[in-house]
Structure 1
């Protein structure tokens, strides 16, 4: 029997570590035991769609696509969404455990009380506390920390006076009803829901709450809370942040750009010089400005089009850029449902929040406070003794809490201790590389062993990770994610392990602007050298999925409908001209507004397939209630108010955008299909389909038709994009029938 290894944690990092230790050749090199405090595997990721006890809402969307959120030798199911929800990630982890980790001794409901290393640091005594209160000591040869970087919620109630409203951490938010229930003290008074924290979780939770409010106001069913229209979201941040949607364009200058999951663009190695140089850590002014420029080009704006409060000023571009991901946050800001203020939370008393800010001193009429203040890492290793914490140079610096060698894997002075996934932004491919690295390192006898493979020995000799981690503490120019350069980290681990990058599979698109094929990095590009037939099948399946996604996006118009749907949110100015060939139907001009109100998808009018999914509890996404309101001035001089309503829907499984009539007596409820919007793929630059083409000068073009009794509606759309955002769009009808003969030309502008 080989080394006895204790793994603390059964989340993604613990499972991938267990897999690589268990399957190390020769098998039996490691005897693996996993201790997990929860009653399930998965760590942060819930396994069921109704599991709301953890730190992640089960229906939260991952902010990276399934091509990145995966391990190399287990492909996602083909019909899974591009951006899986949290419970779907948990289901993936369950499949991974069942496939690769069953031989490990898994103990659930087991809390780590303490660990004690031997004098040499190569043997360990681990004390556990079971659910029944029993304590036990266990002896191991190696200890692997996979307890997660995100420990306890970062929340303190020291700054709360006599509060009349609830204050919770963002990880505890589930719905409006539980946040604003009468028991919480919020009642039905209305007011501002204050979100504190401007990074990833702050933007995400502010947008989630705004979505729930919009749904409560505009859904056809009674709302969970009273008077939802009385509430708004007030987002308190300390720095400006770029907010990217889930789909961006690798060709953002086109009026009819193609769209692709954002990580497939950012992980396109063809955009970077080889070999890769680390882009994270200490960020110089020149580097900061270059990244700010790239982000502005991606979005097509400095964000001032949404509100001055979220604009990235020229002066701010000297500072390291910060990024968050959200599809609808910016449109909620533009609509006023989210108000953004710059400042630091100081104090909550009664219904007032005191803040330190040059803009305002306090936020009044507060209904609730949601703290998106992150998750301090140190609670995840609270069971370590002081001598060990000192050896690891532990600090309360959130970006660099532990100084570890070779990209967060180990410390030379404690040879029997390893870490996987203990850093911010632990992309799954890097976690897998860390697990491989430790299995090879330990099998060889440790960092000082003469038996180390030459690639690894050379990598360790040149490594400066510990010095780099310490130098970044307190550095005002430290990047948002000091270990955030995913492609570079994958390159460095591959070099240390002697791994070569696997070729892509299937057709690979070429970007017209560069003339280069996309070279998309995913975990499946770096499989381990020794594979069985089942693993090879999974790797090829994963690579084919990624290649197909990129090819269809850039040559066949996939995700165009989704990009349009996302960018319709909010209010538009509408000018519409009606020209009738019949005197019975007057010509005229409509002037007004058109609002796309976001809400949870409803089931009315849907097909059997949707009903099946709905009954199974599958989350079917979002839709809009379209409300048009204005004045129509007829050519005969008459003027009157005119209103119109539709439901706009996007079906992710079919990648289809559709428009539905509403019921006459229930104007928030869908009735039956008006038409599907069929997009025209912009012409490719060549017959080989190696580009998206220059695109139409009118933007993304689409058409639809509909027969209403004896009247035929021929519909044309043209969506004019500025990078990821719709700048304006056109909607024209040609209506012909026994008693109708007219055209409608509508122009929608922000």
Structure 2
């Protein structure tokens, strides 16, 4: 039996191991940590470069369970649409154990935990060897050296090597932060070190970066920090996890087929302007109206996207201060240990002072220094290229180095891509699959083109659908029937040799998830509360039914919805540490009898995990008793749905002592933004019979 070394036991290494076993190849898996799961397992605190745990406590993946999944291991039915960090850790742990059960080949794979690979070298360098020169398998002898858990150096020969150490290996810090390095007060932290907001209580924190992690960490740290400054070198479209008229999971919207399968890697089908227009339609007006953030202005450049449920709301209500620009210099005032940052945007320099801590979400470099220099030279490896550091066919192999493969070694490693790369390599190493010379040549040329591209897109493999299909087609794994039809979502679960129970069940679940009346998993109370954040002008009419001769009374003014930090929330669910409570501040003018009287009132809104929006009275600055409890349902017409607009309505009855309150909310959306809101209260009691109707429109 052929034996292949797999370096890394994270998601990439585990799927590589399973596919090698399926093709009759014995894997030996080296893991620097003590557990499988790689960066998803908090027990992995590797002391060497790469492979260590990089997640924070409250992290939630920004892709749903329909994308973060392997084709033969669907999530259990009870799994939330967006699994938690611990859910993903458990998924990979189960995948590891299930490999033995599914294949009954547990004794044919070996795991070496606590072992750090230090060198991989070929024992022969036959220049004539290439992927197209043999049909007996994509292999050659390699010598692998490693330090075991006791610190002893070990060595063994293998027929091949798969590198599954991950693209995000070594935290990168730009030179502009040199003045903060080595400070005894730990003024600078890389995002890989961030765990919890509690260590930043009452501090002013600058979070540098515009990536997913930068925005999510900024929102998370604001739960305890006194001030958060978000410094963005470029402006992304900030999208929540649920978007579109039905508020479906974002990836079920982004990864839909515009045409039937296959869609292969080729010339770009959409212009940057078209991509900007699509993303702007998803975002709606909320981001566009923020002077401190706004939308990208140069639509001739590739767009960038960041996913966060809370970040944009916190910018809107002033909880996070967004600053456009790049940090060019940092310094520390020795008298008070405060940080000063120089930020440049459009050739204008801004100085940010009185900062206590900096969290640098500045990305990672790869780490392949264990590969011998001649291999790195062939791969044209550039450690300083954080976009595409290698020249590889489909980011998986090089024709001039048989037996060496890569899984998940690219910027943006999704589960489906990792699995198809693993299937490609396992087939090649076993001799079950031999790509044609034409296919190899085209793939290598494409890799070179990506590395030379200008301007660079957010991700080298930005066409996820095309990358999936291009890898799947030669393996005979293209989605078939409904799964490959126009409009279908691209999920690894449908990349099967033939339709089966897994693929059919996946299609059914996704259809239910994105059904016409609204996603089955979205919490509309949370969506509604997010849409309300910010300032609104209001016009209220109060009609007294028990006094028909009285003219309707008018109240006008401004309503401000702003988040209440979880640490100070009076919610009984504050232990959940979510941004789930909002303070309603109303400043108005009561027009009565020719006079204008100032009025002020407050409520506290809170969404529950069951989709209920609760409204509480606020008395003397503190939450008092419950006013209304609302559950939203859609009332949109077909025309509104087709136009991307959707109206939602919620009703509630509440008995307050002897008075019966009937409440009705209506919210109309454009993208993720609310465009119209109305609140109607009908109050009946022994001495009351009136109706209050309030219309809200965005305050500019």
TM-score range, shorter chain: 0.7 to 0.9
1:394 equivalent in alignment to 2:381:
yes
Moved more, 594-603 or 98-107: 594-603
Pairwise CA distance, 1:642: 2.4
Of 299, 309, 318, the residue aligned with 2:300 is 318
Moved more, 568-577 or 362-371: 568-577
What's the secondary structure of 2:26's corresponding residue? strand
What's the secondary structure of 1:644's corresponding residue? strand
Give the distance between the partners of 2:254 and 2:176, measured in 1 at CA.
41
Pairwise CA distance, 1:667: 1.4
Q: Deviations over 1:408-460 (max 9, x none)?
A: 1111111111111100111111111111111111111xxxxxxx65xx53475
Pairwise CA distance, 1:208: 2.6
**What residue in structure 2 maps to residue 147 of structure 1?**
165
Give the distance between the partners of 1:422 and 1:118, measured in 2 at CA.
24
Pairwise CA distance, 1:476: 2.6
Q: Deviations over 1:103-126 (max 9, x none)?
A: 231222211111122114711221
User: What are the residue-to-residue correspondences of 1:557-706 with 2, within 5 Å?
Assistant: 560-582=524-546, 587-589=553-555, 591-600=557-566, 621-631=578-588, 633=590, 635-636=592-593, 637=595, 639-651=597-609, 654=610, 656-661=611-616, 667-668=622-623, 672=626, 674-683=628-637, 699-706=647-654
Give the distance between the partners of 2:349 and 2:319, measured in 1 at CA.
19
Distance 1:148 1:264, change over 3 A: same
Of 683, 687, 696, the residue aligned with 1:735 is 683
What's the secondary structure of 1:411's corresponding residue? coil
Give the distance between the partners of 1:500 and 1:156, measured in 2 at CA.
42
1:342 equivalent in alignment to 2:330:
no
Give the distance between the partners of 1:13 and 1:308, measured in 2 at CA.
39
Pairwise CA distance, 1:665: 7.2
1:470 equivalent in alignment to 2:469:
no
**What residue in structure 2 maps to residue 522 of structure 1?**
491
**What residue in structure 1 maps to residue 272 of structure 2?**
288
Distance 1:116 1:438, change over 3 A: same
Give the distance between the partners of 2:518 and 2:200, measured in 1 at CA.
43
Distance 1:558 1:386, change over 3 A: closer
**What residue in structure 2 maps to residue 252 of structure 1?**
none
Give the distance between the partners of 2:4 and 2:186, measured in 1 at CA.
48
Of 268, 284, 289, the residue aligned with 1:300 is 284
> How high is the TM-score relative to the length of structure 1?
0.80
What's the secondary structure of 2:612's corresponding residue? strand
Give the distance between the partners of 1:467 and 1:678, measured in 2 at CA.
52
Give the distance between the partners of 1:143 and 1:594, measured in 2 at CA.
59
Distance 1:37 1:383, change over 3 A: same
Give the distance between the partners of 1:573 and 1:367, measured in 2 at CA.
37
Moved more, 465-474 or 286-295: 465-474
How many residues end up aligned between the 2 structures?
A: 661
What's the secondary structure of 2:167's corresponding residue? coil
Pairwise CA distance, 1:474: 5.1
Distance 1:671 1:90, change over 3 A: farther
Distance 1:339 1:718, change over 3 A: same
User: What are the residue-to-residue correspondences of 1:166-205 with 2, within 5 Å?
Assistant: 166-179=187-200, 190-191=203-204, 193-205=205-217
> How high is the TM-score relative to the length of structure 2?
0.86
Of 327, 343, 361, the residue aligned with 1:372 is 361
Pairwise CA distance, 1:463: 4.1
Give the distance between the partners of 2:599 and 2:278, measured in 1 at CA.
45
Q: Deviations over 1:639-669 (max 9, x none)?
A: 3542222232142xx3x1321425757815x
* Contact 1:145/1:420 (<8 A) preserved: yes
Give the distance between the partners of 1:310 and 1:46, measured in 2 at CA.
37
Give the distance between the partners of 1:128 and 1:413, measured in 2 at CA.
25
Pairwise CA distance, 1:341: 2.9
Moved more, 410-419 or 336-345: 336-345
Pairwise CA distance, 1:748: 2.6
What's the secondary structure of 2:93's corresponding residue? helix
Distance 1:412 1:502, change over 3 A: same
Give the distance between the partners of 1:723 and 1:343, measured in 2 at CA.
27
What's the secondary structure of 1:35's corresponding residue? strand
Distance 1:666 1:79, change over 3 A: farther
Q: Deviations over 1:359-405 (max 9, x none)?
A: 3242222221111110112x2x2211111111211113221111112
Give the distance between the partners of 1:81 and 1:710, measured in 2 at CA.
41
- Please provide the CA RMSD for this pair: 3.5
**What residue in structure 1 maps to residue 2 of structure 2?**
3
Of 211, 218, 239, the residue aligned with 1:206 is 218
Pairwise CA distance, 1:693: 6.6
1:117 equivalent in alignment to 2:122:
yes
5+ long unaligned stretches in structure 1: 181-187, 217-224, 250-256, 445-451, 509-515, 686-690
Of 491, 495, 508, the residue aligned with 1:544 is 508
What's the secondary structure of 2:462's corresponding residue? coil
Give the distance between the partners of 1:202 and 1:278, measured in 2 at CA.
30
Give the distance between the partners of 2:221 and 2:69, measured in 1 at CA.
28
What's the secondary structure of 1:457's corresponding residue? coil
User: What are the residue-to-residue correspondences of 1:191-270 with 2, within 5 Å?
Assistant: 191=204, 193-210=205-222, 212=223, 216=224, 228=226, 231=227, 233-249=228-244, 257-269=245-257
Give the distance between the partners of 1:399 and 1:50, measured in 2 at CA.
26
Of 423, 444, 451, the residue aligned with 1:436 is 423
Give the distance between the partners of 1:100 and 1:460, measured in 2 at CA.
34
User: What are the residue-to-residue correspondences of 1:95-134 with 2, within 5 Å?
Assistant: 95-101=94-100, 103=106, 104-120=109-125, 122-134=140-152
